[in-house]
Amino acid sequence: MRIFDPHIHMTSRTTGDYEEMNAAGVCAVVEPAFWLGQPRTSVGSFVDYFDSLIGWEPFRAAQFGITHHCALALNPKEANDPRCVGILDLLPRYLVKERVVAVGEIGYDAITADEDIAFAHQLEMAVEHELPALVHTPHRDKATGTRRTLDVVRESGIPPERVVVDHLNEMTVRMVVDSGCWAGFSIYPDTKMDEDRMVAILKEYGTDRTLVNSAADWGRSDPLKTRRVAEAMLTAGFIFDDVDKILWRNPRAFYGQSGRLDPLGFAADAFAGNSVHRGTPKRS
C-alpha cells in the first residue's frame, strides 16, 4: 500500500513518527504552514519556519524514505496579528521554490475582516503563481465559515479544481462538492472526522476530488490515520484500487497541478510501472 498524506505538520512530530509512517506505507507528505501552539510575534519567526519547511524538514523526511513537500502561507489566526502580517510581503519569494506545491493553509479562523484581507490576497498569489490552494475551514461556526469560504474562492477567480477546502464534515461536505472544489477531510482521534464516518461519506459521495489526511500536529492526533482509513475502506468493501485512488492518486493529482511534485522522490512509482529514473534531466 502506498500512501500520500496531503496535510500533516511534521515539524511537530518525532523521527519515531517518520519511521512508523514509512512502515505503514506513507511515501509522501505535504506539510502546510500553520500556527503553532505558541503564537508567533514577528516576521522573522515565519522566515525561520518557512526556511525549515523548504530545508531541514524535507531532509529529515528523506532519511526515512518519505518525500516531503510543503504549502506556505500566513495562517488565518495570525493574519489577525499586525506583528505577523508583514510575512505576506516575503511570501512571493517563497512561492517560487521547488518544494512548495501550494499556497496554504489560508481561510478563516475567527472570520474577521483581517482574515478576509489575508485570505483574498493569498488566493490572488495562488492565481499569479499558478499554484493550488489549501483552504482551512474554521472549527467554530464551521458551516457559516465554509459558505463564506466558498464565496471568497469564487470571487477570486481561481479555478475550483485548484482548491481543496479542508477539515470538512457531514455538515459541510455537500456545499464543497457542489462548488467544484476538492473536498478535504482530516481524521482525528477525538475531534474532526473519524475513519468510520469518513467511509460513510465516501460511500455517499464517491472517491472523486476527495483528499483524506491525518492533519497530525502538536495536539492529540495520529500520523497513521491515513492508514486507518485505508483499512476501514477495505473492511467496508471498497476495493484496493479505491484505496489507492483516495490515498495516492488523488493527492498526486491535486498537488501535481503545481508542476512541482518531485518525480525523483517518488520511488514508489517504480512499483506502478512508471519508470522515472533518478537524475534524468527534465525535457522542457
Return residues touching another protein (CB under 8 A): 54-56, 58-59, 93, 96-99, 259-260, 264, 279-284
Angle between helices 225-235 and 195-205 (to 10 degrees): 60
- Choice between 51 and 241, CB closer to another protein: 51
Inter-residue contact 112 to 80 (CB < 8 Å): yes
- Choice between 99 and 136, CB closer to another protein: 99
Q: How far is the CB of 48 from another protein (least distance, A)?
A: 12
Inter-residue contact 9 to 31 (CB < 8 Å): yes
Q: How far is the CB of 93 from another protein (least distance, A)?
A: 6
Q: How far is the CB of 124 from another protein (least distance, A)?
A: 18
- Choice between 161 and 262, CB closer to another protein: 262
- Choice between 207 and 258, CB closer to another protein: 258
Q: How far is the CB of 202 from another protein (least distance, A)?
A: 34
Q: How far is the CB of 203 from another protein (least distance, A)?
A: 39
- Choice between 6 and 58, CB closer to another protein: 58
Q: How far is the CB of 182 from another protein (least distance, A)?
A: 23
The position carrying cell 513537500 is: 69
Report strand pairing: 163-165 vs 26-32: unpaired
Q: How far is the CB of 53 from another protein (least distance, A)?
A: 10
Query: What cell does 202 get?
Result: 465516501
- Choice between 37 and 279, CB closer to another protein: 279
Round to whole Å and give the CA distance between 11 and 33: 10
Q: How far is the CB of 259 from another protein (least distance, A)?
A: 7
- Choice between 62 and 171, CB closer to another protein: 62
- Choice between 119 and 255, CB closer to another protein: 255
